[in-house]
């Protein structure tokens, strides 16, 4: 499975609310990749906790023959279209697109860490993955998504749709 996480916690001048940013982001992903599945979307509190708005999060399973670096280039292109500005870590954002995993590829290069190094600690990533495939297995930890999700019961996440 190739999984892209999508999130937003700021309104945009172009698309509007965070959920509309995410849904528009999915439409853009369809221009570059074959979108196999889209999870439900959830609201989650910022990590680390802060006074910024809660996030809307989901995941998209895609199919492509592109190399992971080329996928990242497309994701940055989409983020730039939404006018995402990167100033500091964990800041609010109009849209955030992360390559979570690329099949069973394990990469520890500074410019490409796969699977995403914190995905197993984030309910807002694992819950949507479980929507798509609860039996997906983390290639490093060798645990299924639904088992990893059980360990995160203390994190807050709300259904949107």
Q: What is the pLDDT of residues 33-75, one digit of tens each?
A: 999 999 999 999 888 788 899 999 999 999 999 999 999 999 9
The rounded distance, in Å, linking the Cα atoms of 36 and 8 is 21
* pLDDT band (50, 70, 90) for residue 161: low
Supply the pLDDT for residue 127: 96
Cα of first residue to Cα of last residue in the chain, in angstroms, is 24
- Domain with residue 143: its CATH number is 3.30.70.560
pLDDT tens sequence across 85-106: 777 777 889 999 999 999 999 9
Q: Tell me how many domains the chain contains.
A: 1
Indicate the angle between helix axes 18-32 and 68-81, nearest 10 degrees. 140
pLDDT, the chain, mean: 93
Supply the pLDDT for residue 64: 97
Supply the pLDDT for residue 159: 86
**Residues in CB range of 134: below 8 A, 6 or more apart:** 144, 145, 146, 149
State mean pLDDT over 99-119: 93
16 has a pLDDT exceeding 90: yes
Domain containing 153 equals 2-159
The rounded distance, in Å, linking the Cα atoms of 123 and 83 is 27
């Amino acid at each position: 499975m190739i999984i892209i996480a999508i999130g937003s916690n700021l309104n945009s001048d172009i698309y509007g609310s965070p959920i509309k940013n995410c849904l528009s982001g999915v439409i853009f992903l369809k221009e570059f990749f074959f979108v196999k599945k889209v999870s439900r979307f959830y609201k989650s509190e910022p990590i680390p906790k802060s006074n910024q708005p809660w996030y809307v999060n989901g995941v998209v399973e895609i199919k492509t023959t592109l190399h992971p670096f080329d996928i990242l280039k497309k994701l940055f292109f989409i983020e730039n279209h939404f006018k995402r500005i990167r100033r500091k870590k964990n800041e609010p954002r109009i849209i955030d697109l992360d390559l979570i995993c690329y099949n069973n590829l394990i990469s520890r290069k500074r410019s490409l860490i796969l699977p995403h190094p914190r995905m197993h600690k984030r309910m807002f990533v694992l819950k949507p993955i479980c929507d798509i495939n609860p039996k997906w297995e983390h290639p490093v930890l060798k645990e299924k998504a639904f088992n990893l999700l059980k360990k995160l019961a203390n994190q807050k996440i709300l259904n949107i749709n």
